[in-house]
Amino acid sequence: MHHLFQKVFHQIKLKKRRIEDVLVLGFGVGSVAGILQNELKINCKITGVEYSNEVIQLGYDLFKVDRFKNLEIINNDAFDFVQNHTSKYDLIVIDIFEDATIPPKFFGEEFLNKLPALTTEKGMVVFNIIVNTHADEERFNIAKDFFTAHGGKVQVIEKLFSNRVLCWERI
């Protein structure tokens, strides 16, 4: 997924934006943090939410995520974190998977409705969605329709592997 986010961040011209606070839902082993801080040289605070203790430990042991500045990793379910959190972010990256699917709760109104409230005035949400089946396509359209209905700018970066990345920007 590293290459995917490199392409997406380039296409949305992330380096030209003012990015101070980032939320990564599905932090994994720190690929997004590496792109932001090491490759794009964006000096930002990153809050990473990762459900799996094993993945977090792998990030520390093999990928040395402790090298990132201003990083806080929270071991929690991303859904629960979003429901109980009120801080605002310039960028929210959603990269949540169980095997090759995103749990349905991340396409429900209870989750989606919280995202705009967590973005700053010019904030952005980048939602990585795998689309392999008709059901995946329907879930993708639910998210796209939600963001379209909330105004701002919606951009779909399609066909990167079997991924589509939905980008929503407040304007």
pLDDT at 16 over 80: yes
Question: Which two tokens mark 80?
Answer: 């629960």
Exposed e or buried b for every residue in 130-159, given b needs 16+ CB within 10 A?
Answer: bbeeeebeebbeebbebbeeeebebeebee
Provide the domain count of the chain: 1
pLDDT at 161 over 80: no
Encode pLDDT of 120-145 as tens digits: 999 999 999 999 899 999 999 999 99
Encode pLDDT of 80-128 as tens digits: 999 999 999 999 999 999 888 899 999 999 999 999 999 999 999 999 9
Question: Which two tokens mark 30?
Answer: 């720190």
Query: Does residue 13 belong to any structural domain of this protein?
Result: no
Containing structural domain, residue 100: 2-8+18-169
Helix, coil or strand: residue 24: strand
CA separation for the pair 46, 32 (Å, rounded): 10
Question: Which two tokens mark 136?
Answer: 């995946």
Confidence of residue 160 (pLDDT cuts 50, 70, 90): low
Query: Does residue 156 belong to any structural domain of this protein?
Result: yes
The domain that holds 73 is classified in CATH as 3.40.50.150
